[in-house]
Chain A
Amino acid sequence: MAIEIKKPTRRQFLIAGGAAAGGGLLLGIGFATSGPSRRMQAEAAAAEEGERFVTTWLKIAPDNMVTVYVPHSDMGQGTITALAMMAAEELEADWSLVTAEQAPAERAFANESLGNDIVSGDDVPPMLKGVTAATWYQVAKFMNLQVTGGSTAVRYTGQHGMRVTGAAAKDMLVKAAAARWRVSPSDCTASMSAVTGPNGESATYGELAAEAAAYSPSARPALKPKSEWKIIGTARPRFDIPGKVDGSAKYGVDARPEGLLYAAVKLGPVSRSRVVSYDASEILKRRGVKQVVEFPGGVAVIADNFWRAKQAAFALEVEFDAGGNEAVSSETIFAAQDKALSGSTEKDKEVGNAASVFSSASETGATIVSAEYRVPYLAHACMEPMNCTVWIRDGKADVWVGCQDPLGARARIADIAGIGFDNVTVHPMLLGGGFGRRVPIREMFFNFPSEIDFAAIIAGQVDAPVKLVYTREDDIQHDAYRPAVTSRIRAVVGADGFPTAYENLYVYKDEPAEAPHIPYAVPHQSIRFAEVPTHVPRGPWRSVAHTQHTFFSESFFDELAHRAGADPLEYRLALLKDQPRHAAVLRLAAEKAGWGRPLPQGHFHGLAVQQSFGSIVAEVAEVSIEGGSPRVHRVVAAVDCGQVVHPDTAAQQVESGIIYGLTAALYGEISIENGAVVQTNFTDYEMLHLSECPEIEVHFVDSDAPIGGLGEPSTPVITAAVANAVYAATGTRIRQLPFKLHDLKPVSDKFAQAAD
């Protein structure tokens, strides 16, 4: 299918239509940010230098089928279905005639709605700016974005891309029908994938598509008011489900191009090690082994079956130089963090004059409350181990990979293989989990090569398509981790029990930048950080810096509430007078959970609230202590994410985030010894199982707030909610994760001991 893409100028509304092969309509849109402010104008001028491409596309075929091309990876969030719904709503399409697929890794399908927000500096998670900056570095002239991350798909691509695309296409179809019937467009009606005229005329979108393509899309198509939505807000079955229950769904690891060989790797146990020497002579005699090749940081065995490659790589002896990092351990990392936080720190956020309030606390009779929190490194542990298949021949490359940025991967492979971007073809595959692990370029976080880089380097040395697959051990031991972080929090508390000053000294200024900030009305705040570099790679992990900071701050305010003898809900509400959305979700979660009402004996509630990625989530966890560990029976979540596009996948994402966060809270710990990761597999990096999964209830606030993200915001809240319930159950404040490090005793046991 040949697609001609016009390059519209900056001052035009950036919509381009065109006839598709076969007489259908192809439509894509970009949109101009025209604003009165100088800042906006400056950005508009800057953006003009980049070549703007049309963005999210939809295709109407003569048989009246609409195909929506979605420039995001669907890792199970239901993005592809939800975004197709947003386009179909405005298009007035018959949903039974709509299908959707992930857009090809072509520039034409780059996600300009996301790009525009980044260019204009709206509140896109800065994490993505880093990712996209790295992408732009490769293909600076092009809006080259297919990034999935930061819970952005629905709130940016959907709102600014898909709905506008659908509305513009509908207008063009109506104009085409009106011209055919020689009537006014305003006398025609679009509904259920057909246009009807004033004299009983009727034509399907498929019949009108070729004529519609001749029209210029309207500059600012009118979007439907919420009251007229028929598709948005309903739970439509996801397009991707059937293939995921019959075994036909193809993930990256399932790629099988003709002549495929398999690569297994021996990586230096210490990240960033250098290969010193190895002897492949015996390995090459093994059955099925074709080749042994070196790449930065390791050696790969190429064989005709992955098991043969894996067994051979395991047997291969390689001497590595760890460059001195073999002396690093979790202990030395946390010691370095302690030292850094006792030294000079950099400003994150200062409100009022916290330093002066702290220094005069003793004179005013106020109390200083302090606590130190600590979280370990976390691996992502996607169910599908990392993999990438690359075939390099005749100056061309084909790549089969499931990743969170297919276009970025394409640019990266082009760069590494020394092949022109146009000669690299990426075949996007399904992702068996992402959670931040499958972002192909991580330069923002750490200059750490990914499996995609390795696959390209290895394939460049092999005369066949090669599928690099990490074992689970490779995956756990060579991730880009949620960092280990220490946070020291203090507050000056007055006679009324409320804080007048708040201080948080933490390590690593990570993304999103606002993660360490608090919603509570404290007049003096000092939030500062220190950087403590290590050789351990860092990367985005579902909800990124919110994972640790929500645990820190929501635990600390719970400590303050208990210290004041106040109900933790009422205490928070008193500090949230200026934050009605926070207060509303807290009240809703508390009400639905039965906060304050009697629970089964030995069960206790804890709650927490956090805003992240444009959504606010409150969770109440019901916990008991069994065998020294928390057992989470029930979690009630209340969510304000603005309008809910797909209620079923929205609830599913909230459930998913809670289980992902709870797994880490209970068990997640990557530790470093002799410079290397200690954990190896699910046997020692444990996962929550079905038997431990709490009952989860999700309630959405009826909200007119802008659409917020849903892939991440429920994740960080659960840890603090459980920690706060554990305090209620035991009187023990958990300040170091995971919970498995602590042997907990219920309060009732303590009473029993006291009685003895």
Chain B
Amino acid sequence: MSISFTVNGKRHELDVEPEMPLLWALRDEIGLTGTKFGCGVAACGACTVHVDGMAMRSCVTPVEMVDGAEITTIEGLAAAHGAGAGELSALQAAWVARQVPQCGYCQSGMLMAVSALLAENPQPTDEDIDAAITNICRCGTYPRIRAAIRDVTSA
């Protein structure tokens, strides 16, 4: 079965099983490794991408569900926010300024989840952040994630 979608503005046509999770299509078929495998059951959020602007956990999203969709991964996050080549989005820049990542493995998913939250709700309350950002980080970057979110919001 042929499935087509765009990833970071580039069109891809894949001949894969319809039930193959988007995560593995991105990583192993297309070669975009910024989106991470963490749990395979949508529990950790390391694989979060945007599907037509919505945050989705790609490890449980069959490719047939995203046929014709526009997908953004961490590699395309800056460009999706109008940043030029080699530049970062305001959110990514806040992540650098706060020196948020430690091992960094969960941070692609964190940034994708937070950017989707802010697109929908630019001034989230702490409770909004708690409810929306359920991604897991094992290094304990949570306090800095909250601080970096606050750097780009005024709430």
A699 to B142, CA, bound (A): 19
Asked if A68 lies at the interface with its beta carbon under 8 angstroms from chain B, I say no
Query: Residue of A at shortest CB range from B31?
Result: A256
Using a Cβ–Cβ cut-off of 8 Å, how many residues does chain A contribute to the interface with B?
A: 66
Asked if B150 lies at the interface with its beta carbon under 8 angstroms from chain A, I say no
Asked if A10 lies at the interface with its beta carbon under 8 angstroms from chain B, I say no
A434 to B33, CA, bound (A): 20
Asked if A471 lies at the interface with its beta carbon under 8 angstroms from chain B, I say yes
CB distance from A316 to the nearest CB of B (A): 17
* Residues of the B chain whose Cβ atoms lie less than 8 Å from the Cβ of A238: 99
Known contacts: A245-B107, A246-B75, A472-B41. The answer to whether A256 contacts B33 by CB under 8 A is: yes
A243 to B78, CA, bound (A): 13
Asked if B54 lies at the interface with its beta carbon under 8 angstroms from chain A, I say no
| Inter-chain contact B73/A76, CB cutoff 8 Å | no
| Inter-chain contact B44/A383, CB cutoff 8 Å | yes
Number of A-B contacts (CB under 8 A): 183
User: Which of B31, B35, B101, B145 contacts A76 (CB under 8 A)?
Assistant: B101
Which residues of chain A in 208-248 are interfacial with respect to chain B, using CB atoms and an 8 Å cutoff? 235, 237-238, 240-248
A308 to B20, CA, bound (A): 8
Known contacts: A307-B20, A383-B136, A472-B39. The answer to whether A690 contacts B105 by CB under 8 A is: no
* Residues of the A chain whose Cβ atoms lie less than 8 Å from the Cβ of B111: 245
Known contacts: A307-B28, A432-B36. The answer to whether A682 contacts B101 by CB under 8 A is: no
A248 to B104, CA, bound (A): 11
Among A86-94, A613-621, A651-659, the stretch in contact with B: A651-659
A243 to B103, CA, bound (A): 11
CB distance from A655 to the nearest CB of B (A): 6
A659 to B145, CA, bound (A): 14
Asked if B66 lies at the interface with its beta carbon under 8 angstroms from chain A, I say no
A659 to B143, CA, bound (A): 10
Which residues of chain B in 99-155 are interfacial with respect to chain A, using CB atoms and an 8 Å cutoff? 99-108, 111, 129-131, 133-146
Q: Mark A438-475, 1 if CB is under 8 A from B, else 0.
A: 00000000000000000000000000000001011100
Asked if B5 lies at the interface with its beta carbon under 8 angstroms from chain A, I say no
| Inter-chain contact B24/A383, CB cutoff 8 Å | no
User: Which of A78, A246, A385, A695 contacts B38 (CB under 8 A)?
Assistant: A385
Which residues of chain B in 10-35 are interfacial with respect to chain A, using CB atoms and an 8 Å cutoff? 16-17, 20-21, 23-24, 27-29, 31-35
User: Which of A247, A469, A655, A688 contacts B108 (CB under 8 A)?
Assistant: A247
| Inter-chain contact A471/B40, CB cutoff 8 Å | yes
Known contacts: A240-B104, A245-B95, A431-B103. The answer to whether A381 contacts B43 by CB under 8 A is: no
Asked if B65 lies at the interface with its beta carbon under 8 angstroms from chain A, I say no
A433 to B104, CA, bound (A): 8
| Inter-chain contact A383/B143, CB cutoff 8 Å | no
Most buried by A among B31, B37, B41, B137: B37
Known contacts: A241-B99, A435-B138. The answer to whether A250 contacts B33 by CB under 8 A is: yes
| Inter-chain contact A683/B96, CB cutoff 8 Å | no
* Residues of the A chain whose Cβ atoms lie less than 8 Å from the Cβ of B31: 256
| Inter-chain contact B101/A696, CB cutoff 8 Å | no
Query: Residue of B at shortest CB range from A380?
Result: B138
Asked if A687 lies at the interface with its beta carbon under 8 angstroms from chain B, I say yes
CB distance from A101 to the nearest CB of B (A): 16
Asked if A419 lies at the interface with its beta carbon under 8 angstroms from chain B, I say no
Q: Mark A290-333, 1 if CB is under 8 A from B, else 0.
A: 00000000000000111110100000000000000000000000
CB distance from B83 to the nearest CB of A (A): 10
* Residues of the A chain whose Cβ atoms lie less than 8 Å from the Cβ of B130: 689-691
Known contacts: A383-B103, A433-B103, A471-B40. The answer to whether A245 contacts B88 by CB under 8 A is: yes
| Inter-chain contact B105/A658, CB cutoff 8 Å | no
Asked if A338 lies at the interface with its beta carbon under 8 angstroms from chain B, I say no
CB distance from A475 to the nearest CB of B (A): 9
Asked if B46 lies at the interface with its beta carbon under 8 angstroms from chain A, I say yes
* Residues of the B chain whose Cβ atoms lie less than 8 Å from the Cβ of A159: none
* Residues of the A chain whose Cβ atoms lie less than 8 Å from the Cβ of B142: 659, 688-690, 693
* Residues of the A chain whose Cβ atoms lie less than 8 Å from the Cβ of B137: 383, 690
| Inter-chain contact A682/B44, CB cutoff 8 Å | yes
| Inter-chain contact B103/A690, CB cutoff 8 Å | no
CB distance from B147 to the nearest CB of A (A): 11
A44 to B44, CA, bound (A): 51
* Residues of the B chain whose Cβ atoms lie less than 8 Å from the Cβ of A142: none
Return 7 A-B CB contacts under 8 Å, by A number. A432-B104, A469-B37, A472-B44, A687-B138, A688-B142, A689-B136, A690-B133
Which of B's residues lie within 8 Å of A, judged by CB?
16-17, 20-21, 23-24, 27-29, 31-41, 43-44, 46, 73-75, 77-78, 88, 92, 95-96, 99-108, 111, 129-131, 133-146
Q: Which A-B residue pairs are the 4 nearest by beta carbons? A: A247-B34, A76-B102, A659-B140, A432-B105
